A and B are shown apart, each in its own frame.
Chain A
Amino acid sequence: MGSQGGFYQSKEFLDLVKSIGEARSKAEEDRIVLNEIETLKRRISEPDIPKRKMKEYIIRLVYIEMLGHDASFGYIHAVKMTHDDSLLVKRTGYLAVTLFLNEDHDLIILIVNTIQKDLKSDNYLVVCAALNAVCKLINEETIPAVLPQVMELLAHPKEAVRKKAIMALHRFYQKSPSSVSHLVSNFRKRLCDNDPGVMGATLCPLFELIARDVNSYKDLVISFVSILKQVAERRLSKAYDYHQMPAPFIQIKLLKILALLGSGDKQASENMYTVVGDIFRKCDSSSNIGNAVLYECICCVSSIYPNPKLLESAADVISRFLKSDSHNLKYMGIDALGRLIKISPEIAEQHQLAVIDCLEDPDDTLKRKTFELLYKMTKSTNVEVIVDRMIDYMISINDNHYKTEIASRCVELAEQFAPSNQWFIQTMNRVFEHAGDLVNIKVAHNLMRLIAEGFGEDDDNADTKLRSSAVESYLRILGEPKLPSVFLQVICWVLGEYGTADGMFSASDITGKLCDVAEAYSNDETVKAYATTALMKIYAFEIAARRKVDMLPECQSLMEELLASHSTDLQQRAYELQAVIGLDAHAVACIMPSDASCEDIEVDRDLSFLNDYIQEAIEKGAQPYIPESERSGMLNISNFRNQDHHEASSHGLRFEAYELPKPAVQSRIPQTLIASTEIVPVPEPMYPRESYQTTMPSIPSDAGSAELKLRLEGVQKKWGRSTYTPATSTSNSTSQKTVNGTSQGDGASTVSSMRETYDSRKPQVEVSHEKQKLAASLFGGSSKTEKSPATGHKAAKASSHVVEKSHVPKSSLEVASEKATPAQQPPDLLDLGEPTATSTALQLDPFKQLEGLLDATEVASAVNGAPAASRSPDIMALYADTAAGIHNKNDADLLSGLSNPSVTNMPGTTAMPQVTQSSSKGPNPKDSLEKDALVRQMGVNPSSQNPNLFKDLLG
């Protein structure tokens, strides 16, 4: 085989590679490549280049592109090369075009013809090369051109061709499902191909088809199960074995497909239980590929209709993963745990310490995965700890993509499970402060709405407290140097609305701060606009309260600046502020009533209240209003100039977009309008935000209804979510105080018992107090519900007895909740609650009752889950032993040089040192020396710089 590794290229090319290899900086490398590009440009367009030479040029082009430079000048030559008769040259041409061109490139059209011809070739290697290109280059428009040939090739005698044809058809389906939708039945046929490679390739398109439409493939469940069974029983040829596993890649694909087919389908799932169970048992958990198959089994088990026995096996595998030293396995374990807790939430509990270890691991990948898990298991009892952790992590990273994601998750969790308003506001402040520019603007609006409305309870006092705490925190936060724009908008709005409401801060305090904001963020017009409107509100409240208004000098200078602003929006706000300040207390109170942002206003779209006024004007000789449709496109400006004062006010109306509620408000307070008409610049009808701002005392009714809808969503989610943990939700509907007490107590006790078992098994492991506390706060909630059945089971193994036992607490809870509901005290119970929420709680009770009456299997499964939990420590101990044993064996194997490094439990990490040490084994040094000699012979010697280049990749 050594000869295949030789170097056939010319010295020139070898020199190029060598000099690139020896380049000490990126700049040097770039210079070399640019030089090369010049040379190639010149050479490649010369006439009558020998084919061999041309082929090398094309390979050099590929090399240049690989290094990130543009070789587009040579694309056409690569395309030409595909026309060549000899496979040798053609293959290089195809390789180059598949690397150079994307499917939307103009040159594709020139290749289609060649591909068509090659697909008909009687040399199967030519067909293969063409099919490779088809997969990469054919786009939606060119599919019809090659489709007939590809279809024919599905029956080609060579399996390599059939396989590639299947994959090409799959690619067509991905690109344009409609163009091949009538052909998908071919995939089913190919499933019965007698070559396992073709069958394996067919699984890719089938997986995708099934993912899109499960129901039409239910009939294949039996076939897939029997294939999987045969594969697992080693019925395939040895060639498909991979590290002593029978065709693991095919097994994984099949398990993925079964997971789709069995999802929510009891009947289909029942067919799968045996084979999946077999794989669980047979899988070699000491090799990486074995673990890959096991992981896929867990995914399958957690997707199909639950089977207690399989869940138990899955839980065992997960705990083995989590206890492994390999980070990879821990990662997979965390991921698998996230899948399984959807079905059996109690499983998280036994792994709490492992999860916390992963959370505190220095490995970022593992940490993120763990956050994902925590996100999935958040509920109202542990939301504070989890969100707190998430925010801390969010602050510590600077990857914007992930920051956005984790910020939106924090917001989502906080909205769903917030235990108190105070906490919610504090959390939001932190999220905004550190990731404000990355979160959705809607979140900011939600926050403002929440502060304005309170939590929908009738307790005004609590709302006031909430607001003053918000104001206080914002005034403090404003001291921070650089705040995100969105957050500043929220701050300005809240300060304007509630800054002076509780009398703690004087108007000059607040206005001073607002002016500072406007000054400090003078580039941000939106913030300035918010600040200006906030200023207007503060002054309006002062005037309405008949206090003397002293405009601060900085405020005055700010206003002067804004009056001359280039932004018409800012200008208008400044003028409005000026106008409002000049009014008397009564008028101001009408325009800017305090704390009225939640009041609904009815918008009189016909403006019927103006009828008298119009009538009067018309009688005085004014022109009647002509609807826009009847007017010509042009506006007669001189018309306005000539009109009298009354007309001027209607001119203001004529310019307005009638859909907005703004005109109504303006006309409700005609005196302001009249006073300000001459200074109001042409209003821009395009700002929905602006209209919201200027009509601050009242929210447009449609916006109000939208908000109402949003709120309902929040409440529903809260209850929808908690269905995973029914018992917790019941306890929620009982009195909050007692639940908190008991759940915490229980959580702590479970944790200590957990610790006992943990310690008894691994006495050397000292679990820090802090971690335990964290565990208690994270898992405390879930432990509560599971505790009693688990202990009950320990006492007695008779299952019937346990059924009763596990039953009893539930029904007693039920009774408690029933008792509690009539006498509910909404303010304590429901954070986001509204009357509707309590009714949801009531609706939940029948569910509870139903649960009690559920058929025996259900209950049995719940009970079977419990023994798994209680028995697991012993099993784990067993595993610990066996795992260690296997590990030793592997080491021995490695030393004897018989096995592949990847067979070890920790691929890569342990394998690498082995590779370096084992340089003395096998023919490697000889080979390396030969290669070295060959290179030297050619006058190229890259080894001097990097001896690593000669190191065998595989030990």
Chain B
Amino acid sequence: MIHFVLLISRQGKVRLTKWYSAYSQKERTKVIRELSGLILTRGPKLCNFVEWRGLRVVYKRYASLYFCMCIDEDDNELEILEIIHHYVEVLDRYFGSVCELDLIYNFHKAYFILDELLIAGELQEPSKRTVARLVAAQDSLVETAKEQTSSITNIIAQAAK
């Protein structure tokens, strides 16, 4: 089972955290600090896995962003690597050439997508199309709701003020 998912930038900034096992806020901070120290310093040619407190952390770097997942010792590391890639592909499809900035400003969307992909620490949906369809269905509701309240241009105008 996946214990947690972390997205960390190369500078060690946290972009997304999702915890499937119970960790207190204090432990979370410690885990993030420990793991970014461990992972960000690793060379490019090395394994994408690190042993950590009796668990395995599988990570993969995309541009300047590290996607990390922590799993049990007897899980299949290569599979997790592909789950990470699967997630990135779904993100890419959703945002259209996803970049780190998309995730920074829309981290809640990244969470929603992750929730359709993983549940309770397991992969729930192996089909990209299904995930995309579900997220789109939710978004379309959001869009209609939005148009009722205020148009996007309004928000941008407000933001540009």
Q: Is A755 an interface residue (CB 8 A)?
A: no
Q: Is A954 an interface residue (CB 8 A)?
A: yes
Contact A289 B78 (CB under 8 A): yes
Give Cα A313–Cα B37 distance, bound, in whole angstroms.
40
Give Cα A506–Cα B70 distance, bound, in whole angstroms.
58
Which of A361-369, A605-613, A855-863 interfaces with chain B? A361-369
Contact A912 B61 (CB under 8 A): yes
Give A84-128 interface residues, CB cut-off 8 Å to B: 86-88, 91-92, 95, 98-99, 102-104, 125, 128
Give Cα A295–Cα B156 distance, bound, in whole angstroms.
51
Give Cα A250–Cα B159 distance, bound, in whole angstroms.
46
Q: Which residues of A contact B101 (CB under 8 A)?
A: 931, 935, 942-943, 949-950
Q: Which residue among A10, A923, A948 has the maximum number of chain B CB atoms within 10 Å of its CB?
A: A948
Q: Is A31 an interface residue (CB 8 A)?
A: no
Q: Which residues of A contact B149 (CB under 8 A)?
A: 52
Give Cα A364–Cα B52 distance, bound, in whole angstroms.
12
Q: Which residues of A contact B11 (CB under 8 A)?
A: 946
Whether A88 touches B145, Cβ cut-off 8 Å, given contacts A70-B25, A295-B78, A931-B99, is yes
Q: Which residues of A contact B93 (CB under 8 A)?
A: 1
Give Cα A838–Cα B26 distance, bound, in whole angstroms.
56
Whether A66 touches B76, Cβ cut-off 8 Å, given contacts A240-B127, A946-B64, A953-B100, is no
Measured CB to CB, the nearest residue on chain A to B100 is: A949
Whether A8 touches B62, Cβ cut-off 8 Å, given contacts A95-B112, A327-B45, A950-B101, is no
Contact B98 A953 (CB under 8 A): yes
Q: Is A687 an interface residue (CB 8 A)?
A: no
B48-91 near A? 1/0 per residue, CB < 8 Å: 11110110000011111100000000001111011101101101
Q: Which residues of B contact A288 (CB under 8 A)?
A: 78, 81-82, 85
Question: How near does chain A come to B38, taking the closest CB pair, in angstroms?
Answer: 9
Which residue in B105, B115, B124 is a CB contact (below 8 Å) of A17?
A: B105
Contact A62 B108 (CB under 8 A): yes
Contact B104 A949 (CB under 8 A): yes
Q: Is A67 an interface residue (CB 8 A)?
A: yes
Contact A8 B146 (CB under 8 A): yes
Q: Which residues of A contact B88 (CB under 8 A)?
A: 953-954
Question: How near does chain B come to A132, taking the closest CB pair, in angstroms?
Answer: 5
- The tally of CB-CB contacts under 8 A between chains A and B is 274
Interface size class of A (residues with CB under 8 A): 35 or more
Which residue in B18, B24, B97 is a CB contact (below 8 Å) of A99?
A: B18
Q: Which residues of B contact A402 (CB under 8 A)?
A: 51
Contact A197 B78 (CB under 8 A): no
Q: Is A447 an interface residue (CB 8 A)?
A: no
Contact A1 B106 (CB under 8 A): no
Q: Which residue among B47, B49, B64, B149 has the maximum number of chain A CB atoms within 10 Å of its CB?
A: B47
Q: Which residues of A contact B53 (CB under 8 A)?
A: 401
Q: Which residues of A contact B44 (CB under 8 A)?
A: 908-909, 912
Q: Which residues of A contact B111 (CB under 8 A)?
A: 62, 95, 99
Question: How near does chain A come to B6, taking the closest CB pair, in angstroms?
Answer: 10
Measured CB to CB, the nearest residue on chain A to B11 is: A946
Question: How near does chain B come to A199, taking the closest CB pair, in angstroms?
Answer: 11
A211-251 near B? 1/0 per residue, CB < 8 Å: 00000000000000000000000000101101100011110
Q: Which residues of A contact B115 (CB under 8 A)?
A: 95, 98, 132
Contact A103 B22 (CB under 8 A): yes
Interface size class of B (residues with CB under 8 A): 35 or more
Give Cα A167–Cα B16 distance, bound, in whole angstroms.
23
Q: Is A847 an interface residue (CB 8 A)?
A: no
Question: How near does chain B come to A403, taking the closest CB pair, in angstroms?
Answer: 12
Whether A21 touches B137, Cβ cut-off 8 Å, given contacts A91-B112, A912-B61, A953-B99, is no
Q: 22 A–B contact pairs at CB < 8 A?
A: A5-B94, A8-B152, A8-B155, A9-B159, A11-B159, A20-B13, A21-B13, A21-B104, A86-B145, A88-B145, A91-B142, A98-B115, A103-B22, A247-B126, A289-B82, A295-B78, A296-B79, A902-B82, A928-B99, A931-B101, A950-B99, A953-B62
Chain A residues with a Cβ under 8 A of chain B? 1-2, 4-11, 14, 17, 20-21, 52, 59, 62-63, 65-68, 70, 86-88, 91-92, 95, 98-99, 102-104, 125, 128, 132, 135-136, 160, 163-164, 167-168, 170-171, 174, 196-197, 200-201, 204, 237, 239-240, 242-243, 247-250, 252, 256, 288-289, 291-292, 295-296, 299, 327-328, 330-332, 362-366, 368, 401-402, 405, 900, 902, 907-909, 912, 915, 922-924, 927-928, 931, 934-935, 937-939, 942-943, 946, 948-954
Chain B residues with a Cβ under 8 A of chain A? 10-11, 13-14, 16-18, 20, 22, 24-25, 28-29, 32, 44-51, 53-54, 60-65, 76-79, 81-83, 85-86, 88-89, 91-102, 104-109, 111-112, 115, 119-120, 122-130, 134, 137-139, 141-142, 145-146, 149-150, 152, 155-156, 158-161
19 new A-B contacts, CB < 8 A, other than A328-B47, A328-B48, A954-B88, are A1-B93, A2-B96, A5-B96, A11-B161, A87-B138, A128-B134, A164-B119, A170-B120, A170-B122, A197-B130, A249-B83, A288-B85, A902-B82, A927-B97, A943-B101, A948-B10, A949-B104, A951-B64, A952-B99
